[in-house]
Amino acid sequence: GAVVSQHPSWVICKSGTSVKIECRSLDFQATTMFWYRQFPKQSLMLMATSNEGSKATYEQGVEKDKFLINHASLTLSTLTVTSAHPEDSSFYICSARVTEYEQYFGPGTRLTVT
């Protein structure tokens, strides 16, 4: 089956620093990947849609200059949280679209900003 990995699985950083999270499709090519954020006891919130070779499409209310997304290849998308603050602490999950109806999720990255 389709496998999606994320790295790192957890990260702790200091306020003001930047953190990069990688999302890879291991055994298939994904022209579209999605980035989600999930706060405790809440559902997934789509942050942006990442398309290979083009700019990401951000959801309303998500700051594109703060959450930089790069989808440079068909197997890798990265999310960089710039100038992180404690309120950015969350569970970040990526998914990769296999078909219009199928997407596979990565294991998630737990970000804690101190």
Q: Which stretch binds other proteins (CB under 8 A): 12-20, 45-53, 68-76, 79-87?
A: 45-53
One symbol per residue from 49 to 68: x for binding other proteins (CB under 8 A), - otherwise; what is it? Answer: x-------------------
Q: What's the token pair of residue 65?
A: 């200059």
CB nearer other proteins, residue 45 or residue 76: 45
CB nearer other proteins, residue 51 or residue 82: 51
42 scored as a contact of other proteins (CB under 8 A): yes
Three-class SS of the chain = CCCEEEECCEEEECCCCCEEEEEEECCCCCCEEEEEEECCCCCCEEEEEEECCCCCEECCCCCCCCEEEEEEECCEEEEEECCCCHHHCEEEEEEEECCCCCEEECCCEEEEEC
Binding residue (CB under 8 A) for other proteins from 46, 62, 68, 76 = 46
Residue 4 CA to residue 103 CA, distance in Å, equals: 10
Binding residue (CB under 8 A) for other proteins from 14, 27, 43, 60 = 43
Q: Which stretch binds other proteins (CB under 8 A): 12-20, 21-29, 79-87, 97-105?
A: 97-105
Name the residue type at position 32: T
Q: Which residues lie near other proteins (CB under 8 A)? A: 41-46, 49, 91, 93, 100-108, 110
